[in-house]
Structure 1
Amino acid sequence: MGLRSILIDAWSWLNYKAPMNTRRPGSAVFPELAATWLPEEDLRRLAAYKLLAAYDSNQAGQLAAAAGDDAALERRELGDASKLVEVALGYLLGTEQHVVVVGAEHADDENPPEGAVEAAAAQVRLRQWAEDELLPLRMQQTERTTVLSGDGVYVLAWDAAKARPTVRSYDPGFYFPEWPDEPDTEFPNRVHLAWEIPEDPERGVKAKVRRITWEMGGIEPAGGEDGSALRAAPGDEIDAGRPVRRYPWDPERPSGVTCYLTDAEWQLDDVRRGETVYNLPIGKARYRARPDGVTLDRLDLRIDFIPVIHLSNTIPHSGDQWGQSILAKVLQGLDELAATDSDSSSASATTGTPIIGLAGAQLPRDRATGQPIPVEVRAGAVWQLGESGRMDALDTSPQLAELRARSDHLMDRIASASRITAAGLGTLDPSSVPSGYTLQLALGPLDSLVSSMRLARAHKYRLLMKMTQRLFQAGQADGWPAGKTFPARIVWGPHTPTDRAGVLDEVVKGYTNGVLSLETAVRMLMDAGYPVEDASEEVGRIQARAFEAASRLADATGDNAAVRRFLGLGDAATEIPSLAAPSRDGS
């Protein structure tokens, strides 16, 4: 019957765009996507990233023109797509971000739990690393790409010169993971970052493909293939005829796997059809080298994980791994808004400089040709009209007002469909909000959106902190002892303004009446945006000045040592001070 098929996947919300419906999606308007080394199964994802980038940079009209719509070059784009991305990014990140290690807040307790002191020390080290590595800046870079494209990529690496791990952000269009055949696998067993290096005729450099690969594999022996020559590399052991390694984060359990790094380039002329990023010809590879001269051909990183973290903007559907852009559900609304803005611009031109019809006017003529000179509408112009002369002006102001009302309507629809809400975008009229509770209800969809976006990232940032600690241990950095990895996470600041006075009143009443502990009270103040850097330090400073509470503690226990510990003072001296006997002369 000639029925048409409908493709539904993670990027089917872009099916209405012509570039997504070609044999090689996106290649008609993005020549780089026509490269044969790109796998066909990844083309829709890569084309989606390109399309979203065009909207972000106000180039959707150029994109439509390249697809065959010549009139699209006149489209007005006023940055609405970029505004949505920036607003969503701001609410996601909140006012600030902190590294928090679980259990560190109890390090200063009178009887701290086991591991609390070590957790506090790890928290100090991680925060120092985040400051040295400009982690908030890296998060801004990666998260903006993630909010726009739906995906983002972090790459960690040990830098021997800096004696710390480095974290870098990469375009998700460079990311090509390979998953094992086993179902329900949490991580890929091989990850590629690949991109094309354009040719440079002036320098005589041909077009190339660079591919960086991390892959998990068995630890290779230091000896030859002959079993009698089998021996372990320095720091490894031979167990049951195979090399094993005891990693510093789990020294009790020998492991037989490690991560290998390969960094190579291929001339595009050497890549044949069917040879994609997943199976480039090894015989044609040119391996790169580190600054110290080590060739990056299956370099043993001496870690048992791939230091590449993929972020998704949303919680992926079951069986999928890719996220969805904040623009996904409202892209057609943005097209409608751009078309309305274009019509509004045309209508405003005829409203500001109206079309005028003249009847019975004596128009000036060109002396050379004798033809009437075209009349221009300008200030101070005088036209002579006959007895039956008439001048009519075309009034397009009603149409302009209707177009502006439609723009407001479309913006409200976009705010609602994206869940950022009109209140979140700042377009809500304050006079229409009768109370703070009404505003809280208006921000409800935004709260749900931010919670969902942060939930999609929570595990990935815990993984980032875990890998950072293990890279420090693998690099044998000073101050990072061997042993278990402490669970750490990123704590986001509040994403909407909070009633700080109300929170403070609630905290004071709760703590004074014994309903809240001091630690919980300080944590609530931190969540409300008060400038508290460290909860345990703030608790100590408060207790050091809580003389009334110390007096009550002394009355209840009669233990002066407990009172001194409560106030943060050292133990009292128990020795009786000796006095020098006066001399006979009284000196």
Structure 2
Amino acid sequence: MGLRTLITDVWSWLDYKPVMADPHRPGRNAWSDLTSSWVPDEDLRRLSAYRMLAAYDSNQAGQVAAITGDDSAGEERRELGDASKLIDTALGYLLGSEQTITVPGAEQIGAEADDAKGQAAAVQERLRAWAETELLPLRLQQAERTAILLGDAVYSLAWDPAKGRVLLRTWDPGLYFPEWPDDEQDAGEFPNRVHLAWEIPEDVRRGTKARLRRITYEIAPITPASRPTTSKDGARFREPVVGEGGEALLVPGDTQDPMTGVITRTYPWSADRPSPYTCYLTDAEWDLDDLKHSDLLYDLPLHKAAFRVRADGEVLHQLDLQVDFIPLIHITNNIPHSGDHWGKPTLATVLQGLDELSATDTDSSAASATTGSPIIGLAGARLPIDRNTGQSLPMKVRAGTVWQLNDGGRMDVLDTSAQLAELRSRIDHVLDRIAANSRLTSAGLGTLDPTALPSGYALQLALGPLDSLVAAMRLARAHKYRVLLRMVQRLHQAGQAPGWPARESVPAQLAWGPHTPTDRAAVLDEVVKGVGASVLSLETGVRMLQDAGYPIKDPQHEIELIQTRAFDAAARLADATSDNAAVRAYLGLPEADPETMGVPLPEQRTQ
């Protein structure tokens, strides 16, 4: 390899593998031999990296090395699950103890709550109910483990009219193919056209050929209304809807400018900003035998496609989804570099360390065999003879075996215990190196001796790299989950779901739980002093207790329960305002009956 052929990109950390350095190399080493011609060349390195990382996760890296000719002894390689442990450990720290959907301002209640804050509380309640129905914690586990392992993960959202809610699904990033404009350099932007594509293998029993399925989402100008129809040969597609005079009809609610012909639509979340764009969905299949070598994923021939039909009879060919965004969310494991759109997996920087650890485990296994069953040399021994052949019988070391030695005979034992101890020491050294370079730390992986730390402050310093790693991973995901929750609101609005009125989407976010043990007693003491001294609000104090791990499911309900028993604070409110109605509202009591007689209070005597 020369400098002209050296590739430096987001997957360069895997170039030490010959199969990755040149994915097009002919022979059994080429990943392209396992992939059909429809995969674009620019995606081949990404898919190769995904396949290699999946092999490490499933303890198959040695088999892949043997198959691709990278290591002749790869099949004997010892893999003890270290890669999978790193991934699961990073996943646990990323997710924390729990994940909660929060809407700023939802904790405000009582007289302090205005219409906007009441709306925030209602949206928060609906989002949490949706998350429970759609098993959001389970989907988070699926997607985030994929993101940590491969560097990327994909969510999809779809409105289901039958269930009356938005469906959330996770996808393998190897099926995700976005089309970026040539001048697009910002990783925070979203593509205008995205494909989900995979091959369906041949089924001899059912008589179906190998096919390629492609689901395409595309942002494009709004067109007139269309309807499903069937051609003479039985093919399903969509055709424009025309009126009695032959003019194209619009979707109800759309308007067309008579001068420019541009069609605009007012969406429920932007009543004052008509949009000329919508998202179209196409779901089609192609027989692989009908595709030529020049037919790439991004420009497959539509005249050879068979469009799929939804359960309600809608043909998925340029189907108008009635939204102005693509309901797909691409998650990256880290913050991509400028100009990049793909993430870096947690194993990226320590993959060679895992290879070194596996090689040391293999050598240690071989050394332990000679240590447990040592090689013995005998001199002057009387060997047993086979009476039939007259040859010496092989000798084995068994418990209770007695050998007769002649005068001057001896027995020598090959002791390899020192080499085995050295290999075990090297394993510890490699593990410490992996823990340090991955920033999961020895303390985070649980391999650090607790007696080696003199104090809790020393443990906090030891966990410092892990804290920065988790903070960076959560920062890379924060915006994407805010976008996901915004899409959930808008899809419910577009589907006219009950309880989701037409209005601007409320900002919502996913709050992660603490990733390391928290001193709950210290947090409680801090909250009591802060709220008591009026330097912290009650809402902030309850949120701090919830983040510390106290069993507070609904902060707003918790604040209501606290206030209904805060008689001293109610008394101070009465002294400050002399407003009985405000005091009753503070305590959560109904308004007083005007006919109810008040209780006279004794007058204070002046000394």
The whole-number CA distance in structure 2 between the counterparts of 1:308 and 1:151 is 13
The whole-number CA distance in structure 2 between the counterparts of 1:395 and 1:124 is 69
The whole-number CA distance in structure 1 between the counterparts of 2:316 and 2:436 is 50
Alignment of structure 1 residues 45-194 onto 2, 5 Å = 45-68=46-69, 69-106=71-108, 108-184=109-185, 186-194=189-197
Corresponding residue number in structure 2 for 1:44: 45
CA shift for structure 1 position 178: 0.6
Greater mean alpha carbon deviation, residues 34-43 or residues 545-554: 545-554
Alignment of structure 1 residues 282-293 onto 2, 5 Å = 282-293=302-313
CA shift for structure 1 position 22: 2.8
CA shift for structure 1 position 29: 6.1
**Alignment partner of 1:11 is 2:29:** no
Which residue, out of 205, 210, 216, partners 1:207? 210
Greater mean alpha carbon deviation, residues 497-506 or residues 511-520: 511-520
Q: Secondary structure at the match of 1:110?
A: helix
Give a deviation string over 1:245-270, Cα, whole Å, max 9, x none: 11111122211111000000011111
The whole-number CA distance in structure 2 between the counterparts of 1:493 and 1:378 is 57
Greater mean alpha carbon deviation, residues 315-324 or residues 547-556: 547-556
Corresponding residue number in structure 2 for 1:474: 494
The whole-number CA distance in structure 2 between the counterparts of 1:535 and 1:52 is 41
Which residue, out of 442, 447, 469, partners 1:427? 447
Amino acid at match of 1:96: E
Which residue, out of 524, 529, 538, partners 1:509? 529
Corresponding residue number in structure 1 for 2:220: 217
Alignment of structure 1 residues 388-407 onto 2, 5 Å = 388-407=408-427
**Alignment partner of 1:257 is 2:277:** yes
Corresponding residue number in structure 1 for 2:400: 380
CA shift for structure 1 position 231: 3.8
Which residue, out of 568, 586, 590, partners 1:548? 568
The whole-number CA distance in structure 1 between the counterparts of 2:20 and 2:483 is 34
Amino acid at match of 2:76: E
Q: Secondary structure at the match of 2:298?
A: coil
The whole-number CA distance in structure 2 between the counterparts of 1:184 and 1:423 is 39
Q: Secondary structure at the match of 1:195?
A: strand
The whole-number CA distance in structure 1 between the counterparts of 2:7 and 2:36 is 23
Alignment of structure 1 residues 462-541 onto 2, 5 Å = 462-541=482-561
Size of the aligned set, in residue pairs, is 576
Alignment of structure 1 residues 243-322 onto 2, 5 Å = 243-322=263-342
Amino acid at match of 1:191: V
The whole-number CA distance in structure 2 between the counterparts of 1:23 and 1:111 is 63
Q: Taking every aligned residue pair, what percent have the same amino acid on both sides?
A: 64
Give a deviation string over 1:19-69, Cα, whole Å, max 9, x none: 112352797365774310110100000000000000000001101101222
Which residue, out of 320, 324, 335, partners 2:355? 335
Q: Secondary structure at the match of 2:212?
A: strand
Corresponding residue number in structure 1 for 2:255: 237
Give a deviation string over 1:526-582, Cα, whole Å, max 9, x none: 1111111122211111111112222222233332222211211111111258xxxxx
Greater mean alpha carbon deviation, residues 25-34 or residues 114-123: 25-34
Amino acid at match of 1:328: A
CA contact (8 A) 1:511 1:518 kept: yes
CA shift for structure 1 position 5: 3.1
The whole-number CA distance in structure 2 between the counterparts of 1:221 and 1:77 is 59
The whole-number CA distance in structure 2 between the counterparts of 1:181 and 1:354 is 66
Corresponding residue number in structure 1 for 2:476: 456
Structure 2 CA distance for partners of 1:395 and 1:576, relative to 1, 3 Å: closer
The whole-number CA distance in structure 1 between the counterparts of 2:403 and 2:31 is 54
Amino acid at match of 2:497: A
CA shift for structure 1 position 365: 1.4
Amino acid at match of 2:158: A
Structure 2 CA distance for partners of 1:3 and 1:540, relative to 1, 3 Å: closer
CA contact (8 A) 1:153 1:308 kept: yes
Corresponding residue number in structure 2 for 1:198: 201
Long gaps (5+) in structure 1:
578-587
Corresponding residue number in structure 2 for 1:582: none
The whole-number CA distance in structure 2 between the counterparts of 1:4 and 1:193 is 33
The whole-number CA distance in structure 1 between the counterparts of 2:92 and 2:166 is 27
Amino acid at match of 2:85: K
The whole-number CA distance in structure 2 between the counterparts of 1:225 and 1:14 is 56
CA shift for structure 1 position 312: 0.2
The whole-number CA distance in structure 2 between the counterparts of 1:408 and 1:162 is 53
Amino acid at match of 1:8: T
The whole-number CA distance in structure 2 between the counterparts of 1:497 and 1:296 is 50
The whole-number CA distance in structure 1 between the counterparts of 2:167 and 2:531 is 42
Give a deviation string over 1:343-386, Cα, whole Å, max 9, x none: 01111111111111111111111122111111111111111111
Greater mean alpha carbon deviation, residues 470-479 or residues 555-564: 555-564
Greater mean alpha carbon deviation, residues 366-375 or residues 55-64: 366-375
